[in-house]
Chain A
C-alpha cells in the first residue's frame, strides 16, 4: 500500500513542517544573515570573488599573489574579462542565492504567529538585507531580473522572471525595501548586536539616494543617524578593522563572525585570500590577493595615520606587524604590500586554526563613511559649513589639518579624495568612481584599458544568458 512507500526525507525538515513551526520565521530570517558568509570558489557574496569585483578591479588594489595564480581575477584587474569569466558568474549566483533566502523568509514571515511588532522587525531586517543584496547587484550588473517573491514552479521560467528589469526598477525595489526597514527597525541598543538597526537602514538608504543624486534625501537620512547620538568615530582608526573594534561605536552594519568547534563561522576566503603569501622560509597567512597599489600609497597626504593602518608594507629586511609577528624579509614573500584591514592576528585575536574561515567581521557601513556621505550631500545642497565640519572630523582622526573649501567643486573633489583614503580597501572605490563619473579617466590614468560605456558594469554571465534562452540581454560592449 501507499503508506509503505510514503517515506519522508530523513534528517531534513520539510517545507510543510516549516509552515507549522512558530519559530520558522525567525529561523529563516537568521538563515538570510548566514548567506553573507558565502564565499570560496563557487557562488560568492563576500569572499574573494566579491573582493575581486569591488577592490582588485579598482585603482586601489592589484590582483597580487603569484602572477599565474587565479587568472579570472587577473582578467578583472586588467579589464580583459568577458561574459564567461567565472567570478562574474559566481557573484551573480551568490547574490541571487542570497535574494532567494530573503524571499523565502518573506514568504513565511506573514504566516508566523508572533506579534505584529516583532514580525515587522524581522521583515524589516530581511528587506534591509534584500535591499543591500540588490544594491550590490545593480551596481555590478545594472538592471537585473527583479525577483521579489518566491516564484511558483510554473512561473519560474516566465519572461517576468527571466528578463532584466531596468536599473531604475531595481532601485525602486531597493528604496521600498530600505524605507520599510527604516520605518520598522529599532535603534541600535534596542536590538541584539548584529541585527540590522534603524541607523543602518537610514545610512544605506541615504547611500542609495546618493547614487540617485537625491541629495536632500541623503542629507536627511544621514543627519538622522548623526542626531541619534548612537554613533561616533572610533578614536584609533587602526582599531576599526581589528577584533577590538568589532561592533564599536563606529560600526553601523557589520557582518558578524565568530569561533565554533567546527571552526567555520566566518566568511569563507575573506581574510585568508588577502593574507600575506610566503615565497619561502616561513608559514604564511594566506593567498596574497588584493595588494594595495603604489597609487593608493601616493594618495595619502603626508602624516595621514590611515596609510599605515591600511597597508602592510613589506620592508627588505622584514616588517613587524601590530601583534608582534615579524614577516622575515621582502624576498620571503610574494608581494610588496598587503591589506592591513584584512589582516587577522592568529595570536592576539580569536582564531581556531581554520585559515579559510578566519573570524574577521566585514565592516559594511560605518560612521566614518556616514560623515563623508553627509558631507557630500551637504556640499551638493550648498551647505558648505556642515560639509566641512563633518569632513574635518574624519581628517582630524587621521591626524590631518582641517580642510578649507575653495568652492563647491573644490570641496566635492576634497570629499571624494577623503572617501578614497578613509574607505581604502573597503570595497567601495570602484563603485564610487563609477558613481561619480570618473572611472574611465582614473582607470586609464592608472594604466588600465577601461572602455567608457562598457566597463562601468560587468557583463551578464554567459551561461546565465544561455539558461534564459538569451532572454537576459547583455550589457553594452560585451557582445
Chain B
C-alpha cells in the first residue's frame, strides 16, 4: 500500500442495528481524534474513509450508548447499538445544548421516544409514568386531558406545581398538541442545578421534548398505526334497588320511594367501550444540504362516556438547511394541530350518575325517569341527550433558528419561537320542561324552559426570542463549554363569549343571530405578560474525570411589581468520574462510577398576571328610576409586594455501570426547600375582600428524598436478550413555615367543610378530620362513653353511629377534636420495566405503583341529599340491628362529620403497559421490499391492585380547566389533593399496532 505523502484512505463499511435487529439510520460515526464523520443510511449501512487501518470509530446516536471500536485492520464493521433508559452513556438534552449523561453534574432522567410511542396513550406525559425515578405522574381517564406531574414532590402550593415543558426550545405548559410519534426523547431536568438554566420557570422541574429530524440518505417512508378500545378500568358498584330501599328506610324513613319496578345501573348506560385509533405517516431523508422530517398524524378517541369524542390531526415538518457547510445552518421545527372535541362536562355527569337512585328508570317509551323530582339529581342521560358542546382547537407551535459558526469553537444562534392557539366552542343546551312530555312523571328542577346557545372564541399567542452563543474548546485534557444568552418572551391572549336563548335545535341555526336578541349576553377578557432573561453557563471537565458546571440566570417577569421583578438564579455542580482514576484501572467490577453533587436556586412565577395591581370591578348593576345604571367597586385586596417564589435544592448522586455494563444504576439524594411560596391565603372578612383571600408569598416547605434506579440487561444468545429495570423514589414533604400566617384549611367537602390543613411540620394538604374509633353497637355503649365529669360524650348518638375520639379531652366532640390523618403525598413510588427479544418477537411490560399516601373518599362523604345513592359495598357492610358492623355506620347523612372513616389507603400497583410484538424476518422483508414490518398487541393499564374502594387512586386535583388558553392548569391547588369528589374512572386500553417502514 501507499506510503509517505501518498497515504491512501481506507474505506470501512458496515451496518448499524439496534438490539431488536432493526437498522438504525442517522447514527453518527466519527473517526476518533479527527473531524471526519458520516451518518448511517436509512437501511443502517454506512461507509467511511479512514486514514489509518488502526483508527478507532465512534458510533453515537441520541438515546443509545456511544461505542468506540478499534478497527484493528478490519474493513467491515457491523455494530449493534444498545439502548436503555437507565443507560449512562447516552446523550441527554440539558437546555440550550446537549451533554453526554456521563458528563452531567445534576440529576437528569431520559426516556426515548419509542418507549412512549409504543403505548396507546394520548399525551406523551402519560407514557413516562413509572419510567423515571423522582417523577410522579397522575393521569385521569379523560380524553384530551393532560396528566399531572410532580417532580421530586409537590414543589408549590398553588396550581402552578406542574413542570415546565420545553418542546424544541418552546416553553409551554401544555403538550397535548404533541404527537407521541414525533418524539425522539423526553429529558427531565429534576434538580435545581440542572433546571436553573430555565430560572424563572424551572422550580417544578423541566421536561424537554426533542422531536425527530431527518437524516441524510434516501427517503424513508413509514406508517404506524394502532387501533383498539378503551373501557373503564374499575367501577364502583352502586347499591341496587333492594339495598337502596333498605338504606333509605333507616336514613330517611320519611321519604316515599316511587315504585317503577326499576333496578337501574346508571353507569351501564352512561359508560361504553370507546373505540380509538391512531395513524401516522412520516417521510424523512435529505442530503448534506437539506434534511427533512415530515409527519401526518390522526388520532380518534371516543372516551368512555356516551357522546364524548376527541379527534386530533397533527402535522409536523422539521427541516434543516446547511447553507454553508459547517458554518451556516437554518432550521425550522413546526407543528400544527387541529382537534375537535365533542365535549362532555364529566364532573356533572359522573356526579349525577353516582348519585342517581336505582329505583328510577333511565328512560321508558321515550320518556325519561325523573330523578330530580324524587331526589334533586339531574338524569345524566337526559343531560347528555340535551347538550351539544363542540370545541375546535387549532395550534401552531414551532421554532426557527439560524446558527452561525464563524469558527469551529463558536456557535451563534438566534431563534424565534411561536406558540399560537385558537379555540372555538359552541355549546347548545336544548330546551325541555319538567312535564310529562319529557319525563315519566312531571316535577323537579331539571328543566330548561328556553334553549341556549353559547359561543366562545379564544386565542393566544406567545413568542419567544432567544439568542445564544456557545463556545466549545478542548485543550489537551481541558474541555470547556461556555454558553451565554439573552431571551425575551411575551404572551397576549383573549376570549370573547356570547350567548342567546331561544335558538332552534338545528345545527345550521346554531349562530347567535338565530336567537332572541333580547336575551343577548356577551363578554370578553384578555391577559398579557412578558419575561426577559439573561443566562450563562460554564461546563468544564478535566481529563473526563473532574466535572464542573456553573450557571446563572437573571429573569424579570411582569407578574411582579417592578421593585421585586428581578430574580437571580445561580447553580453549581461538581462531578468526579471515579472510574477514570488510575487506581480504578485494575478492577473489573465497575465500568463506570461517578459521584456528583450540586446546588441551585430557581424561581416560580406561575401565577395569574397582575395579582399585585389593585383593579376595579366595573359593570355592577343597579336601578335608579327603573333604569339600569352601572357602578364599580375596588374591594379586592392585593399584595403589592408580591415577589418570586424560590426553590433551593441540594442534590447528590452516584452513578455506576458494572459487570461489562450489564448492570447500571443511579442513586440520588435531594433536599429541596421552597421559600416565599406563592399561595392564596384567607384574610379576615372585615377587610371586605369579595372572596376573602389573596395571593401572597406565605409559606415555605421542604421536599427531601432518595431516588434509586437500577437496570440489568443481558444477551444470552444472538436470538435472545432481555432487560430488567426498576426505579424507586422516597419523598418526604413537610411544611416548615407559614410566614406567621394561619394554617391553610382547604378541600371543601359539602357540609363537612374544609378537610385538609396545611401547617408546620405536616405534608402539604394533610387531611385533618375526626378520629372515628368504631361503631356504637347499642345504647349501653353510648351511655357508657362518658367524659371525666360523667357526661355523655356523644349524647345525640344512636346505635349504629360512629364513635369519635375526644382527642382534646374536653368531653365534647366538635371540630376541635380533629387530628391529622395522612395526606395524598406518597411516601414512595416506583416503576418496574421488563423487556425481552427472542428471534423476531419482542416483549415488554411496565409496572407502576405508589405507597404511603391517603385518599379521602369525598364522593361517599358528600351527601347532597338523603336520597343520593350509596356504594354497594357500604350497603352490604353498614350497621343494622340484625347485622351489626364494627366498621361502617348505620347511615351516612350530609351532616355526618368529616372523619378518618372516609380516609382510605392510596397505595396501588398497576401493570401500566404490556406489549408483544413480532417483526417479519429480514429474508421476508427483502422479498416484499420493506425495511421493517412489525405487528404488536398492547394493553395499557391491564390491571391495578389497590385498596381504595373508589374509582381510581390517581386523582388529578380537580378537572383540567378548559379556559385560560395556553396556560392550562388544573383547577385546584395541591392543598386540595387526594379528595375523590368527582369520580373519574381511569381506563384500560387494548390495541393492536402496526409499524411499517419502506
Q: Do the two chains bind?
A: yes
Q: Which residues of A contact B (CB under 8 A)?
A: 2, 4-15, 17-18, 24, 27-35, 42-43, 66-69, 71-72, 82, 84, 86, 89, 92-93, 96-101, 103-104, 108, 144-145, 147, 151, 153, 156, 161-162, 192-195, 256-258, 260-265, 278-284, 332, 352-353, 461-464, 466-469
Are B621 and A10 in contact, CB atoms less than 8 angstroms apart?
A: no
Q: Give every chain A residue within 8 A of B628 (Cβ-Cβ).
A: 258, 260, 265
Q: Give every chain A residue within 8 A of B885 (Cβ-Cβ).
A: none
Given contacts A34-B620, A278-B373, contact A67 B254 (CB under 8 A): yes
Is B532 engaged at the interface, CB distance under 8 Å to the other chain? yes
Q: Which residue of B lies closest to A29 (CB)?
A: B631
Q: Give every chain B residue within 8 A of A258 (Cβ-Cβ).
A: 621, 623, 626, 628
Known contacts A101-B634, A469-B742; 20 additional CB pairs below 8 A are: A5-B532, A7-B530, A11-B525, A12-B615, A13-B615, A14-B614, A15-B614, A30-B620, A30-B629, A43-B685, A68-B865, A68-B894, A96-B688, A97-B689, A100-B635, A100-B687, A147-B688, A263-B519, A282-B442, A468-B684
Is B909 engaged at the interface, CB distance under 8 Å to the other chain? no
Number of interface residues of B (CB under 8 A): 85
Are A96 and B445 in contact, CB atoms less than 8 angstroms apart?
A: no
Residue in contact with B625 in the complex, picked from A193, A257, A278, CB distance below 8 Å? A193
Report the minimum CB–CB distance from B691 to chain A (whole Å). 8
**A69 vs B865: C-alpha distance when bound (angstroms):** 7
**A432 vs B705: C-alpha distance when bound (angstroms):** 63
Report the minimum CB–CB distance from A92 to chain B (whole Å). 5
> Which of B176-184, B318-326, B556-564 faces chain A?
B556-564
Given contacts A258-B626, A265-B628, contact A27 B557 (CB under 8 A): no
Are A6 and B558 in contact, CB atoms less than 8 angstroms apart?
A: yes
Q: Which residue of A lies closest to B618 (CB)?
A: A13
Q: Which residue of B lies closest to A332 (CB)?
A: B443
Report the minimum CB–CB distance from B199 to chain A (whole Å). 15
Residue in contact with A156 in the complex, picked from B526, B615, B687, B751, CB distance below 8 Å? B687
Report the minimum CB–CB distance from B899 to chain A (whole Å). 16
Residue in contact with B613 in the complex, picked from A9, A264, A278, CB distance below 8 Å? A9
Are B633 and A18 in contact, CB atoms less than 8 angstroms apart?
A: no
Are A4 and B488 in contact, CB atoms less than 8 angstroms apart?
A: yes
Q: Give every chain B residue within 8 A of A280 (Cβ-Cβ).
A: 258, 373-374, 441-444
**A34 vs B620: C-alpha distance when bound (angstroms):** 6
Are A283 and B434 in contact, CB atoms less than 8 angstroms apart?
A: yes
CB-contacts of B584-625 with A (<8 A): 609-610, 613-618, 620-625
**A212 vs B440: C-alpha distance when bound (angstroms):** 59
Q: Give every chain B residue within 8 A of A13 (Cβ-Cβ).
A: 615-616, 618, 632
Kindly name the residue among A108, A332, A463 whose own CB sees the greatest number of chain B CB atoms within 10 A.
A463
Q: Which residues of B contact A (CB under 8 A)?
A: 252, 254, 258, 373-374, 433-435, 441-445, 447, 449-450, 488, 490, 494, 501, 518-521, 524-532, 556-558, 562, 565, 609-610, 613-618, 620-626, 628-635, 637, 640, 682-692, 742, 745, 751, 753, 814-815, 865-866, 893-895
Given contacts A93-B685, A261-B520, A280-B443, contact A7 B528 (CB under 8 A): yes
Q: Give every chain B residue within 8 A of A9 (Cβ-Cβ).
A: 609-610, 613, 615
Report the minimum CB–CB distance from A289 to chain B (whole Å). 14
What would 29 A/B residue contacts be, using CB atoms closer than 8 Å? A5-B530, A5-B558, A5-B562, A12-B610, A34-B622, A68-B865, A69-B865, A71-B894, A93-B685, A93-B692, A96-B686, A97-B688, A101-B635, A103-B688, A156-B637, A194-B622, A194-B626, A256-B623, A258-B626, A260-B621, A278-B373, A280-B373, A280-B442, A281-B373, A283-B442, A353-B450, A462-B815, A463-B682, A467-B685
Residue in contact with A281 in the complex, picked from B442, B556, B616, B895, CB distance below 8 Å? B442
Q: Give every chain A residue within 8 A of B814 (Cβ-Cβ).
A: 82
Residue in contact with A92 in the complex, picked from B435, B445, B685, CB distance below 8 Å? B685
**A332 vs B441: C-alpha distance when bound (angstroms):** 12
Q: Give every chain B residue within 8 A of A161 (Cβ-Cβ).
A: 686-687
Are B442 and A12 in contact, CB atoms less than 8 angstroms apart?
A: no
Residue in contact with B687 in the complex, picked from A86, A96, A192, CB distance below 8 Å? A96
* Inter-chain contact total with CB atoms closer than 8 Å: 232
Kindly name the residue among B443, B490, B626, B634 whose own CB sees the greatest number of chain A CB atoms within 10 A.
B634
Q: Give every chain B residue within 8 A of A283 (Cβ-Cβ).
A: 433-435, 442-444, 447
Q: Give every chain A residue within 8 A of B518 (Cβ-Cβ).
A: 261
Q: Which residue of A lies closest to B741 (CB)?
A: A467
Report the minimum CB–CB distance from B359 to chain A (whole Å). 14
Q: Give every chain B residue within 8 A of A462 (Cβ-Cβ).
A: 815
Are B634 and A10 in contact, CB atoms less than 8 angstroms apart?
A: no
Kindly name the residue among B618, B622, B624, B630 whose own CB sees the greatest number of chain A CB atoms within 10 A.
B622
Residue in contact with B632 in the complex, picked from A31, A281, A463, CB distance below 8 Å? A31
Report the minimum CB–CB distance from B54 to chain A (whole Å). 58
Given contacts A5-B532, A104-B633, contact A153 B640 (CB under 8 A): yes
Q: Give every chain A residue within 8 A of B692 (Cβ-Cβ).
A: 43, 93
Q: Which residue of A lies closest to B452 (CB)?
A: A353
Are A282 and B609 in contact, CB atoms less than 8 angstroms apart?
A: no
Q: Which residue of B lies closest to A469 (CB)?
A: B742
Report the minimum CB–CB distance from B248 to chain A (whole Å). 11
Given contacts A33-B622, A161-B686, contact A4 B525 (CB under 8 A): no
**A27 vs B625: C-alpha distance when bound (angstroms):** 16
Residue in contact with A101 in the complex, picked from B254, B621, B626, B633, CB distance below 8 Å? B633
Are A145 and B494 in contact, CB atoms less than 8 angstroms apart?
A: no
**A279 vs B623: C-alpha distance when bound (angstroms):** 36
Q: Give every chain B residue within 8 A of A469 (Cβ-Cβ).
A: 742
Q: Give every chain B residue within 8 A of A108 (Cβ-Cβ).
A: 634
Are B683 and A284 in contact, CB atoms less than 8 angstroms apart?
A: no
**A258 vs B622: C-alpha distance when bound (angstroms):** 8
Given contacts A8-B613, A100-B689, A353-B501, contact A35 B893 (CB under 8 A): no
Given contacts A84-B815, A278-B373, contact A464 B686 (CB under 8 A): yes
